[in-house]
Amino acid sequence: MANVLVFAETNNEKVKPVTYEILGRLSGQNVDVVSIGNIDSDSVAHLAKFGAENIHKIQGSNLEKYSPEGYTNALNNFISSKSYDYVFMGATSAGKDFFPRLAGSFDSGCASDVTNFVFEGDEFSGTKPLFAGKALTKVSFDGPKPRFVTVRPNALGMPESENAKSGNLVDAAGEAGEIRAAIKEIIKGASEKVDLTEANIIVSGGRSMKNAENFKILDDLADVIGATVGASRAAVDSGYAPHSMQVGQTGKTVSPSLYIACGISGAIQHLAGMRTSKVIVAINTDPDAPIFTKADYGIVGDLFKVVPILTEEFKSLLS
């Protein structure tokens, strides 16, 4: 049985869902959770429900805003005072940014962006995609502890059963230490929708959208089914959508439960960013488009006719 710490990344005091996904796979281990900043009461209850024995909240000077140096220093001090075998976090933007630095501060290994993992006793074994998802490799550790792991959001799925523990809330003092590069301001995007990497449903458009204004039909569909809108590289390069919406090898890697590709041919660079989606629906006028080889469901037709029909049907079903 391993002693495991899970870092709970928060947004407006709410814990990001990937934390619960990780907790769902840690049944049988001794599990604590740590966060930097406050966690709301609902999130605390969910963390306890899915197996957190102790929930540590680190607060201190210069930790109000995210910085890779500050978070690394604060967590290094906290972890050094404990005896954890493994430290987990979601492979979010922050996880990709500071977690390797944190692992390096312990001279430990970091298994990044794993899509599955198991424990045999207290030994970790994970699965990691390589070569744009064309191959999978098994990863494990043989170096010093603690060992660090980041998990791709939406890859594991939410826990199907509860593993309730006490969820003791513990306040911990933290210190960011020396910060050489500080974030002065965070400007929020206009959209309040979930980030692509964390979205459970994604509707994406390709070059066939023809212009930026036409993305409104995807926005309408997304609003009905609670999705986030993405785009292919071709659409982004054509100026139809900003780079923050790009899905693919040079954009964001996503693993939603449902991915609807509208007017996307299915170039290998795009498939690399969404091939781990649970269900893929493709809409394209070309019956030989490569996207159909990966799609679970395909519609050969004009997206400008098909998408509005889908929107109305979903409205009817969900009303």
Give me the pLDDT at residue 189, please: 65
User: What gap in Å lies between CA 229 and CA 301, rounded to an integer?
Assistant: 20
| Same domain (yes/no): 17, 164 | yes
C-beta separation of 128 from 118 below 8 A: no
In a domain, 187, yes or no: no
| Same domain (yes/no): 154, 200 | no
Which structural domain, as residue segments, surrounds residue 207?
Answer: 196-318
State the CB neighbour count (10 A cutoff) for residue 190: 5
Amino acid at 283: I
| Same domain (yes/no): 124, 161 | yes
In this structure, what CATH number is given to the domain that contains residue 142?
3.40.50.620
In a domain, 178, yes or no: no
Give me the pLDDT at residue 185, please: 78
Its pTM stands at 0.86
| Same domain (yes/no): 126, 229 | no
User: What gap in Å lies between CA 160 and CA 254, rounded to an integer?
Assistant: 21
In this structure, what CATH number is given to the domain that contains residue 295?
3.40.50.1220
Which DSSP letter does residue 194 get? Answer: P
Helices and strands per DSSP (H, E), number in the chain = 9, 17
List of the chain residues with pLDDT < 70: 189-192
Give me the pLDDT at residue 164, please: 82
| Same domain (yes/no): 144, 248 | no
